[in-house]
Amino acid sequence: MLAWLAAHLLIVRAEIPSADAIVVFSGSGTYIERATWAAKLFREGRAPVVVVTNDGLIGGWDGQRNPYFYELISRRLQQQGVPADRIQLANGQALGTYEESLLLRDHATSHQYQRLLIVTSAYHSRRALWSMRRACEGSGIQIGIEAPPPGWQTPSPWLWWSRRFGWKTVAGEYAKMIYYWSRY
């Protein structure tokens, strides 16, 4: 029960009725669930554009080359019904969640977006929301967040503790949050 509680304390949701843009946080290990969820929200009409970020990581061989994960996210979005002209790439390379939040704040400011709906993995949602709110303080930008339910590309809240990937994902998120709160 404590393991389930530890997992669920990481998961947050911040409602926002409509947004100027859906933002997909980078995440090489979970890019499929993030892109698929963002495409679902786009198809629901939650925002007119989807913004992706470049974390500089490269995926596996696709038959021609090793594409960047932001390219894989864009492909997945298009496969899920998001037109290519509705996908934007934020300028710069994100080296972590807080740096990614700063890039997204700058992108939103330059495009005059006032409401952003963030899509990330469930266990990353608390830190991502905190980082975006911190980066956007004083900017007037409203932040909402939605995440696909865990158990798809991330471990189930009931069983995360039984696998190494679960410890990296859930327990590791607590270590990252402590670091972020003390650093930023």
Residue range 113-123, pLDDT digits in tens? 999 999 999 99
| Burial bucket for residue 161 (CB in 10 Å: 0-12, 13-18, 19+) | middle
**Chain-centre distance for alpha carbon 58:** 17
Residue 108 reports pLDDT greater than 90? yes
Which residue do the tokens 């490269």 mark?
58
End-to-end CA distance of the chain: 32
Residue 125: the pLDDT is 95
Mean pLDDT to the nearest integer, 131-135: 97
- What tokens were used for 141? 């930008």
Per-residue pLDDT band for 160 (boundaries 50, 70, 90) equals confident
Q: How far apart are the C-alpha atoms of 169 and 61, rounded to whole Å? A: 25
pTM over 0.85: yes
Residues in the chain: 184
**Band of pLDDT at residue 166, cut at 50, 70 and 90:** confident
Written as six digits, the tokens of 36 are: 């698929």
Share of the chain above pLDDT 90, in %: 76
Q: Calculate the average pLDDT of the chain.
A: 93
pLDDT tier at 178 (50, 70, 90 boundaries)?
very high
pLDDT bin (cut points 50, 70, 90) of residue 29 is confident
How does pLDDT run across 35-89, given as a tens digit for each residue?
999 999 999 999 999 999 999 999 888 889 999 999 999 999 999 999 999 999 9
